[in-house]
Structures are given as C-alpha cells and as structure tokens.
Amino acid sequence: MVQSVIHGNIVDIFSNSNKVAITDPVYPVYLDTNVMAGRSGRYNKEKRKYENIVYLPVTAENDFKPELPKEKVDLIYLCFPNNPTGTTLDKIELKKWIDYAKENKSIILYDAAYEAFITEKDIPHSIYEIEGAQNVAIEFKSYSKTAGFTGIRCGYVVIPKEVKGLDKNGNETSLNTLWNRRTCTKFNGVSYITQRAAEAIYTEEGKRQIEENIKYYLENAKIIKKGLEEIGYMVYGGINSPYIWLKIPKGITSWEFFDELLEKANVVGTPGSGFGLSGEGYFRLTAFNTRENTIEAIERMKKM
C-alpha cells in the first residue's frame, strides 16, 4: 500500500481510549498526532508530561534500551535505528517487546525509516525477523531517508493479516481491513508519477545509486563521530544511522549548547530537549550534508 505521512494517519484506526507508550526522547510525530487525536489526556505543566502517555526513557544510563512499561499499554511506538539517538536494538531486545505485546494484547508500531543505514550484521532490518512479530506488529517504511523522498513523499506500511485489534465488545478486528478502508476513503494513495519514482528505487541502477548515497552519509557520520570523540565528547549513534547523539558538557542545557555552537562555530544542530524531557543534556547532529561542510563543521567545533 503506497502512502505517505503514515505515521501520523495510522492513529485514525485506533480508539481514543487506547493507552500509548512512546520512548523519551522520541520522533515528535508519534506524540503530537496522538495529542491532536485527543488520546494524550491533559498536559501536566509541572511534570511536563501528558497524563495518558506512558514515557519510556532512553538515555546513556540504560544504554538506550527502553524498559518494558510497568502497566498495560495498547499501542507502543518503537523506532530503530532510532531518531534522534541513532541507536539500535538487537533481536533479543526486540523479542522482549513482542512477548510483552502478546501478553498484554498490545500493538507495536515499528518505524524502520532508517533501516537502510544499518551496517552491523546482527541488527534486524525489520521487526518481522523476530518470531511472533507478525501477530502483534505493524511496520512503517519510508523512502524519505532511504532515497531522498522527503519532498516527493512516499512510504508504505506493512499490516499482516494476523494482526488483530479488539472492538469495544472484545471481538477481534483486522487492522489490515480497517487501514485499507481508511486509506481508500480519505487518501487513495500517492500520484502515479510518485509511484513510478518509488518503483525506480528497486531497479539495479536505483539500488546502486541509493547504496552510494547512504554510504556517503555514513562516511560523514563516521567523520563526525571520530571528530567529536577526539574533542572528548561522549558520542552515540552514527554507526547504523545518519544521526549522532552527543552528550553535552555538564552544567549547560541543550538550548545553551545550541546557542554556543551557533555563535562560536556557526554550526546548527538540534537540542535534545526538543525530542522530550529525557533528551535534555544531549544534542543531535546529522550526516545529511556534503563531505566538505561536514569536515569544516568538525574543524570549527574543534576550535570552539
């Protein structure tokens, strides 16, 4: 099924009474679309959290592996390789989530947008590499990062026929059928031209070009990671991901670091706190630039 901005639209097929778990920090779309749908509950200003959202911290302290929720949740968003942290989960870690979902009748919404950036052998490219996933998980794939489709817009979602939701009487309902109905009523898919462009990704020439592009960005990531480590930063990600997640010096906030980097080095990145409370103290840099600019940016950071 050809579709774009799926991550946001998928919330349409779920009840507003469903409890949602997200990692923290997180790709903001998962949270914001649930807030807009009315599923998040009230915003608690003191705690700086929504009352009906279960936040699962992912920080250096837990090696960027989210802990299973202590309570029952209905929908779980997982994204690996992760945006913003650039970290991954192995098969054993993912299996824990499949088991949790089975036990609690939850649905895992697995975002594999950065799958093409995986370089290490044992990292799963799809959640369906893990036994039992086809009963509890749906998976998003996007051409945005794989093939530079952020402007053209195309992606797809895999909803196995085995994945069932429960209606209000507790009867099983096919999510595949619901999503098909939703798509054919509200959207009808991307344009033919866009579909032909997506098709070209799978030709020999297309595959070769994409591989070359991704290699280029991964080399940038390596340069950033190595450069920052030489300066003395703690750096995460950047191996199976275009993102580098760095721990900023103690005593300043992510936004203060942003200002300093902008003013002293004329380099921009994203403050970790923009991705959630647990992102405070971190900063995201991306490899999506030219080799020359990447090298220049690191040189300037070295002089900071």
Ligand X SMILES: *Cc1c(COP(=O)(O)O)cnc(C)c1O
**Which residues are at the interface with ligand X (CB under 6 A)?**
4-5, 7, 27, 79, 83, 111, 113, 142, 144-145, 150, 155
Residue 2 or 298 having the CB closest to ligand X: 2
**Shortest reach from residue 140's CB to ligand X, in Å:** 7
Is the dihedral angle over the CA atoms 187, 193, 194, 199 positive or is it negative?
positive
For residue 3, give the nearest of 141, 128, 125 by alpha carbon.
Answer: 141
- Output 93 or 99, the one with its CB closest to ligand X: 93
Query: To the nearest whole angstrom, how small is the minimum distance from the Cβ of residue 287 to ligand X?
Result: 13
Radius of gyration for the alpha carbons in the chain, expressed in angstroms and rounded? 20
User: By C-beta, is 10 or 133 nearer to ligand X?
Assistant: 10
Amino acid at 290: T
The distance of closest approach from Cβ of residue 237 to ligand X in the complex, given in angstroms and rounded to an integer, is 13
**Nearest distance from C-beta of residue 194 to ligand X, angstroms:** 12
Q: How far apart are CA 91 and CA 131, in angstroms?
A: 10
Question: Whose CB is nearest to ligand X?
Answer: 142
Separation of alpha carbons 207 and 212, rounded Å: 9
E-strand ranges in the chain read 2-3, 20-24, 43-44, 49-50, 53-57, 75-79, 107-111, 137-142, 155-158, 164-166, 172-174, 234-237, 243-247, 270-271, 282-286
Nearer to ligand X among residue 155 and residue 281 (C-beta): 155
Return the number of the residue (88 or 227) whose C-beta is nearest ligand X: 88
* In the complex, minimum distance from the CB of residue 142 to ligand X, in angstroms, rounded to a whole number: 3
Which lies closer to ligand X via its Cβ, residue 132 or residue 274? 274
Cβ partners under 8 Å of residue 56, min gap 6: 21, 22, 23, 24, 66, 67, 69
What's the closest the beta carbon of residue 2 comes to ligand X, in angstroms? 11
Q: Which two tokens stand for residue 194?
A: 């866009």
